[in-house]
Structure 1
Amino acid sequence: MKKLRLGNSSIEVGEIALGCMRMASLSAKEAANVIEHACESGVDLFDHADIYGGGKSEEVFAEALELISRKRDQMIIQTKCGIRKGFFDFSKEHILSSVEGSLDRLKMDYIDILLLHRPDALMEPEEVAEAFTILKESGKVRYFGVSNQNPMQIELLKSYLKDDLIVNQLQMSLMHTPMIDAGLNVNMQHDPAVVRDSGVLEYCRLHNMTIQAWSPFQYGMIEGTFIGNDNYPEINTKLQELAEKKGVTNSAIAIAWILRHPARIQPVIGSMNPQRIKDIAAASTIELTRQEWYELYRSAGNKLP
């Protein structure tokens, strides 16, 4: 698998990551099989969050690592915090306690990357900065990032931090493209022209901040997968056509579409099926032409101005 560097950090990872939200439903043995196959396919960044499975996903991951030969330093472990029941919390106390909880569940001494999961309207950047400094100086977190934040939210936070933010995790798939739509419909009077995120795609490129695309097979707000969905015949026909042409699966083509973008976006897939992970990883070996990329974009229901 091809590699990419995360933001301005020294971390190089496979260009496809594995999200571990669904790992809570697996046994340690099943999870070990998933991790092994992911690593064999070139995946080495594993994305967690304190809320996944109520913390069980991190616990199962730790149990699985005890069953395999992969060493901790062969993986990049990322987790997120900030979502609580009914509210968001970027307080110093919560960030610190959440990291302690994740480290305990993961049975690790440090986390490679900590992301703030969802914007907290009551964020006090001074508190976040204090928490990040404590975590960095104690060796418990190496790098920091955010998730689902717009440029001004990031700028506000960065103005108080000592270290750069290397990742912004954002929803993106062939059927969820507001980051791209607005850039193609500048000064037009229709819905795709609406800038919903303050130009976050261009911002991240300008500031060398890696975008991680979550839910790369979903439509809507995690309403379901569009792959093989009869409600989306046009996109599936085009995916199948290109999959046969390139000798990969439809899912690999959907990921290749994200990888084709020059922003060097890292898709975060969530499959717990070892064969499916292997099939999706093949996306790193192919490259779509500019024409093919636009054909897929249009087949997803988008019209060019």
Structure 2
Amino acid sequence: MKKIRLGNSDLHVGEISLGCMRMDKLSKKEAAYVIENAMEAGVDLFDHADIYGGGKSEEVFADAIDLNSSIREKMIIQTKCGIRKGFFDFSKEHILTSVDGSLERLKTDYIDILLLHRPDALMEPEEVAEAFTKLKESGKVRHFGVSNQHPMQIKLLKKYLKEDLIVNQLQLSIMHTPMIDAGVNVNMQNDASVVRDSGILEYCRLHDITIQAWSPFQYGMINGVFVGNDQFPEVNAKLQELAEKKGVTDSAIAIAWILRHPAKIQPVVGTMNPERLKDIAQASEIQLTREEWYELYRAAGNKLP
């Protein structure tokens, strides 16, 4: 699998990562098989969050493998914090407590990347900065990032942080493209021209922040999977056509569409099916042409101005 650099850090990882939200449903043996096959396919970044399975996903992950130093050094473990029952919390106390909980569940001495999960309207950036500095100096967290944040929220944080933000995790798929639409429909009087996120795609590229695409097979706000869905015949026909042409699966084409973007976006794939993950990983070995990329974009219902 091809490698990408995360932000301006020293981390070079497989360009496709594995989201572990559903790992709490697996047995120890099943989880071990998923992790081992992922690494064999070149997937070495594992994405967690303190809320996934109420913390059980992190526990299952750790129990599934013997995290000795040789194995730990081959993987990048990322987790997120900030979502609580009914509210968001970027307080210093919660960030520190959450990280300690994740370290205990993951049975590791350090987390490679910590992300703030969903924007907290009551965020006090000075508190976040204090928490990050303490975590970095203690060796508990090596790198930091955010999730679902727009440029002004990131700028506000960066004003106080000593540490770089290397990742911003955002929803993106062929059927969910608001961060791309506005850039195509500049100065147009249509819905697609509305800038909903303050130009987050361009901002992240300008400031060396890697975008990680979550829910790369979903449409709407996690309304369901569009691949193989009869509700979307045009995009699935084009996916199948290109899959047959390239000798891969339609899911691999959906990921290749994200990888084709020059921003070097890293998809976060959530499948717990090892064989499907192997098929998806083949996306790293193909490249869509500019014409093919736009064909899929139009097949998803987007009209070019």
Matches within 5 A, 1:206-217: 206-217=206-217
Corresponding residue pairs, total: 305
In the other structure, the counterpart of 1:14 is 14
Q: Answer yes or no: is 1:190 the counterpart of 2:190.
A: yes
Equivalent residue, structure 2, for 1:292: 292
C-alpha separation in 2, matches of 1:208 and 1:88: 26
Q: Are 2:149 and 1:149 equivalent residues in the alignment?
A: yes
Q: Deviations over 1:53-75 (max 9, x none)?
A: 00000000000112999700100
Q: After superposition, what is the alpha-carbon deviation per residue over 1:55-98, rounded to whole angstroms, capped at 9, x for unaligned?
A: 00000000011299970010000000000000000000000000
Superposition pairs for residues 50-61 of structure 1, below 5 Å?
50-61=50-61
Query: What pairs up with 1:108-127 in 2 under 5 angstroms?
Result: 108-127=108-127
Q: Structure 1 CA distance, aligned partners of 2:263 and 2:233?
A: 28
Task: Give the TM-score normalised by the residue count of structure 1.
Answer: 0.99
CA contact (8 A) 1:15 1:267 kept: yes
Deviation string, structure 1 residues 134-161 (Cα, Å, up to 9, x no partner): 0000000000000000000000000000
1:92-112 per-residue CA deviation (whole Å, 9 max, x = no partner) reads 000000000000000000000
Q: Which amino acid aligns with 1:256?
A: A
Q: 4+ residue stretches of structure 1 with deviation over 2 A?
A: 66-70
Task: Sort the Cα spacing of 1:108 and 1:69 in 2 relative to 1 into closer, same or farther, 3 A.
Answer: closer
Q: For the Cα contact (< 8 Å) 2:90–2:124, is it kept in 1?
A: yes
Mapped contact 2:67–2:107 kept (Cα < 8 A): no
* 1:137 has 2:146 as partner: no
Whole-Å separation in 2 of the counterparts to 1:304 and 1:156:
34
Alpha carbons 1:239, 1:254 under 8 Å: kept? yes
Counterpart-to-counterpart distance in 2, 1:231 and 1:67: 43
Contact 1:228–1:236, Cα closer than 8 Å, also in 2: yes
Identity of aligned residues (%): 81
Q: Which letter does structure 2 place at the counterpart of 1:115?
A: L
Gaps of 5+ in 2: none
Q: Residues of 2 paired with 1:33 and 1:69: CA distance?
A: 19
> Take 1:113 and 1:91, find their aligned partners in 2: how far apart are those partners?
18
Q: CA separation in 2, counterparts of 1:37 and 1:206? A: 35
Q: Which amino acid aligns with 1:210?
A: T
Residues 293 and 28 of structure 1: is their aligned pair in 2 closer, same or farther, counting only changes over 3 Å?
Answer: same
Change (3 A) 1:15 1:87: same
- The aligned counterpart of 1:161 is 161
Q: Matches of 1:152 and 1:269 in 2, distance apart?
A: 28
- CA contact under 8 A between 1:32 and 1:68: conserved in structure 2? no
Give, in angstroms, the shift of residue 14 of structure 1.
0.2
What root-mean-square deviation, in Å, do the aligned CA atoms of Structure 1 and Structure 2 show? 1.1
Letter of the aligned partner of 1:196 in structure 2? R
